Structure 1
Amino acid sequence: MRWGTILTLLAATLLAACSNDIEVEPPPRVEDQPVLGNQTSTMQVPLQISLDEVQRALEARTPRRLWRMNERRSDCIPATRVNPLGLGFNVTPNIACTIIGEANRGRIRLTGSGNRLTIRVPVNATLRAEDIGDIISGETADASADVIINARLSMTDNWGMRADLDLDYSWSEEPGIDFLGQRINFTERVDEELDTVIRDIERELERTFARISARPLVEDAWQKGFTTVSLNAENPPAWLRITPQRLGVTGYDVQGRSLSVNIALEARTETMIGERPDPVRPGPLPAMARDFTGDGVLVAVPVIVDYAQLEPVLLRELGEFAEGGITLPRIGVVDAAFSDVEIYATQDRRIAVGINASVTPREGVAARYGEAQGQIWLTGEPYNAANSAVISIRNLTIHGDTDRNTVDLLIALFADEQVRSKIEAALVGDFTRDYDRIIADAREAVSELQTDGVTLNLTIDEVRHGRVRATGAGLFLPVEVEGSGRLRVTLSS
């Protein structure tokens, strides 16, 4: 007798000895939620300072008349000397005069670029030399200079504004008069007066900038930064919890008539699913951080495929596959009917697939035995390639004690390689379109997130995702969006 015939008879004998109904304990159900972890993000908190207000403050605190003078000088025109044979003789004596004059400033102009401001102060001087050598009653001269003060801005540890000043000025028309073919030059004397005035302007600039304090806004940004905002209202409800860590200044920028101080808020950004988590209690405002290197915002976005989406697909595919019968090795053709599918997460990051089925032999040695029916459980491993939204289930294995049912029709059906391959193929889902829709929704959702006193605008520049995981909430595709964020704070009244 051939071995095949012996095995067939043995299978028939065992089938007769076994119950037609099979009951297997379902795999344990895992109810865990996706663990999204947390990221470190840097958000920009722009502080706007009006250059017009700074300019008005300088105008109000800098006098129009810078100085006046009235003095007698014995050497308005110095003596002319000759040196024949090394002997010095005055050909003409010193010529004395009285200098009367004043200098007035024009309108202060304030411009800037980057972290530098330029303050221009036009100065006009009118000078009159009288009683020149007791010969000429007087001569008048006009002079003008453009005083330029460059201020390099920085922030103190206590969030006050500081300006390091560099001065430059030049005369477009030097003060002096011509007399008897000689030049009476007043530049040196006027420079002495102007130097004193410029020192006063510098001190006033320093005082003006010292009055500009970023601390109120920074304090509000720090306190209100400890917040929780909604990322997604449902399916699933998701929340972004922001916990500030430190603050620093990353740059300055002049745009039009506004100076923008870019304050960076480094925070822990956590995405949580379920009920809204309470924000972390704010700590005291820290000193300004000097070593800011972080840039951009990282946020985890929950992309979850509900198991309910897979169940009808698998049921439909199995029904179509069973049309016309299924041929099982050493058993023959059987008719299979599938009535229900249940999928959930189980241990070891696998999913459980429960299928209710009935199997009726159509021909062969097993045909004399009646219908086998019940529920079979399989477990499989979710899989996707890196940065792919195509999800499949691999390595399907029958769950439970099947040794005593090795030839039961249900066990034989689901142990068959073609049947398991069909189940694996049916469980492959291309969620690219759903994924793109979710990311589009995420872009819109995070474009403006609002809570009490705070508006967070996020711009998504890049999207990355990792490997799919089975969780109690569904198949979880970890997605990370990266971009830039601006946190606008409404100052407390």
Structure 2
Amino acid sequence: MLSKDIEQGSFMRISMLAALLLPGLLASCDRKTEVEPPPRATDRAPSPTQTSLIAVPIGASTASLKQALERAVPKTLWTIDRRERECVKTQRVKLFGKKVKVTPPIACTIVGRVTRGPLRLRSEGNEFVVDVPLHAKISARDVGGVLKGETATGAAMAHARVRIDLTPDWRTRGKARITYGWTKAPGIDFLGRRITFTDQADEKLKPVVASVEREVTREIAKIDIRKQAADIWRQAFTSLELNRENPPVWMRVMPQRILYGGYRLDGRRINLNLGVEAITETFVSTRPADPSPTPLPRLVRETPKPHLDVRVPVIADYAQLQPVVDRALAKRSKRPFVLPELGPMMVKFGKSTIYGAPGGRIAVGVDIEAKLKARTGAPTRGRIWMTALPANRPGSAQVHFTDLVINGDTDGVGGDLLIMLGRSEGFAPLIADALTQNFTHDLTELQDKIRRAVDQRREGAFVIRTRVDRFETGAIKAYGNGLYLPVRMVGGANIDYRPQ
């Protein structure tokens, strides 16, 4: 029984081999297997959008504030020339338990003035401090008809502490408070007593202090932040080049809000902590049209936390993948394919055809001329089609293919032979490996280009600095216009306003 089964199996194999080796003898019953190529996908890879927050510090000089104060605060703050009935009060001594008047009060004439020195502007924490040095020169004349004239000098330092704020409609406002203290009180010594004139000086300084506070508040309101902010807002509606060519990649910026997180002082400049919250949209194409600017919005009081979060569409064009596949097939054609039961087969490959198929699949068609070494006569010609789903591990740019489907289109009964070739262990993995190597190389090269392109650049009145901390890779998908691998670019960006 076993011998009979072996003989029957051998007969079947010989019959199959004969059918494959003798297509010419069977021309009269030749069948042609027509296989339609997979349909082409017409969808396009999306232009991804994401929200980013770009730091946009605006600086304003305080030089005009100092100049205005220099003009507003007079050099001579006040003068005095008046008769005092008691420059020296009545002197009393204690005698027999009672205080007895020894000398009457001594009158005098006080003449003098208080002047200021150059103003000094400095920062202290989040306050501006205007230092106003004061110099007093006061004389007491005709003191009791005895002292003809005695001059007293004194010094004080006034400090105007200023806080600045922005209103939601971009107006600048501030509040100044002025304090001062005598570092050397003006006075003279007479009859063993110290006669000081701080009370008279303080009385004269009070209205001066109030005047300086009003002037500081008025000058702060003149600092024009709105104009700079409006310029930045309008010019931020733009497109920035991420990669010049192979492929060209552009990022379109569409601002939504401006956030304000206070200010800091740097020498004689006030730097506002601003951030533009924008939608960033990326394209693999020529430069997209700039979005239309909107009016400057109201200020949002919220500390900005700058971050650059951009989805970069990395697309491998099918036309760029084709020569890689062709080179791999040409190299492989130098060695025979070994088919089970049939033996070695020499294969010549024509140019491949690669495109996107519906359902997120990739279609690869290859013209083939195949001939078994044991066969005589003309080779079998036809086309093998393979469709597959591209896939990658999370965070990886290594692409592999799953759910492979092989079909063929030949010129005769040898069609089954080509299908067997396409389903052999060495054919489909060969194409998959070629695609994988090409895509990884393109991604690495593009990331390097983007890092160089966005490092620092000037766009009109702005210097844009971008820092790329990392790239994150998403899930690959096939579209009609190419293999699409979404890459997230994470980092930071800031824009300095520097008119030339």
TM-score (norm 1): 0.87
Alignment-derived partner of residue 400 in structure 2 = 392
Of 318, 326, 329, the match for 2:337? 326
Q: Which runs of 5+ in 2 are unaligned?
A: none
**CA drift at 1:431:** 5.3
Q: Which deviations, in whole Å up to 9, do the C-alpha atoms of 1:148-184 show, x marking residues without a partner?
A: 2222222122212222334332222111111111111
Q: Which deviations, in whole Å up to 9, do the C-alpha atoms of 1:16-55 show, x marking residues without a partner?
A: 6885865422222224333232122222333332232321
Alignment-derived partner of residue 458 in structure 1 = 465
Q: Distance in 2 between matches of 1:67 and 1:142?
A: 15
With 79-88 and 38-47 compared, the bigger mean Cα shift is at: 79-88
Alignment-derived partner of residue 383 in structure 1 = 391
With 408-417 and 109-118 compared, the bigger mean Cα shift is at: 109-118
Q: Distance in 1 between matches of 2:413 and 2:211?
A: 100
Alignment-derived partner of residue 75 in structure 1 = 86
**CA drift at 1:304:** 2.8
For 1:52-451, what aligned pairs fall within 5 Å after superposition?
Answer: 52-81=63-92, 89-112=100-123, 115-363=126-374, 367=375, 371-399=379-407, 408-429=416-437, 434-447=442-455
Q: Distance in 2 between matches of 1:406 and 1:202?
A: 100
Q: Which deviations, in whole Å up to 9, do the C-alpha atoms of 1:78-103 show, x marking residues without a partner?
A: 33456779865545443332222111
Q: Which deviations, in whole Å up to 9, do the C-alpha atoms of 1:199-227 show, x marking residues without a partner?
A: 21111111111111211122222233223
Rate the CA distance shift 1:19–1:84 in 2: closer, same or farther, 3 A: farther
Rate the CA distance shift 1:461–1:81 in 2: closer, same or farther, 3 A: farther
Matched-pair contact (CA < 8 Å) for 1:230–1:449: no
Q: Which deviations, in whole Å up to 9, do the C-alpha atoms of 1:458-492 show, x marking residues without a partner?
A: 3223131323332333323322332212053759x
Rate the CA distance shift 1:63–1:330 in 2: closer, same or farther, 3 A: same
Q: Distance in 2 between matches of 1:397 and 1:50?
A: 69
SS at match of 2:57: strand
**CA drift at 1:235:** 3.4
SS at match of 1:236: coil
Q: Distance in 2 between matches of 1:346 and 1:215?
A: 53
Rate the CA distance shift 1:30–1:379 in 2: closer, same or farther, 3 A: same
Rate the CA distance shift 1:308–1:278 in 2: closer, same or farther, 3 A: closer
**CA drift at 1:245:** 1.0
Rate the CA distance shift 1:354–1:458 in 2: closer, same or farther, 3 A: farther
Q: Distance in 1 between matches of 2:45 and 2:367?
A: 29
Rate the CA distance shift 1:167–1:405 in 2: closer, same or farther, 3 A: farther
The answer to whether 1:8 aligns with 2:30 is no
**CA drift at 1:406:** 11
Q: Distance in 2 between matches of 1:323 and 1:93?
A: 130
Q: Distance in 2 between matches of 1:84 and 1:247?
A: 80
Letter in structure 2 aligned against 1:485: N
Q: Which runs of 5+ in 1 are unaligned?
A: none
Percent of residue pairs bearing the same amino acid type:
36
SS at match of 2:164: strand
With 320-329 and 440-449 compared, the bigger mean Cα shift is at: 440-449
TM-score (norm 2): 0.86
SS at match of 1:418: coil
Matched-pair contact (CA < 8 Å) for 2:380–2:414: no
Alignment-derived partner of residue 33 in structure 1 = 44
Letter in structure 1 aligned against 2:274: I
Q: Which deviations, in whole Å up to 9, do the C-alpha atoms of 1:300-351 show, x marking residues without a partner?
A: 3343333333323323333333434221123222222211212222222221
With 133-142 and 257-266 compared, the bigger mean Cα shift is at: 257-266
SS at match of 2:140: strand
Alignment-derived partner of residue 480 in structure 2 = 472
Q: Distance in 1 between matches of 2:463 and 2:251?
A: 11
Letter in structure 2 aligned against 1:384: N
Rate the CA distance shift 1:377–1:221 in 2: closer, same or farther, 3 A: same
Matched-pair contact (CA < 8 Å) for 1:28–1:347: yes
Matched-pair contact (CA < 8 Å) for 1:405–1:411: no
The count of corresponding residues between Structure 1 and Structure 2 is 486
Rate the CA distance shift 1:288–1:436 in 2: closer, same or farther, 3 A: same
Q: Distance in 1 between matches of 2:15 and 2:317?
A: 44
**CA drift at 1:414:** 0.9
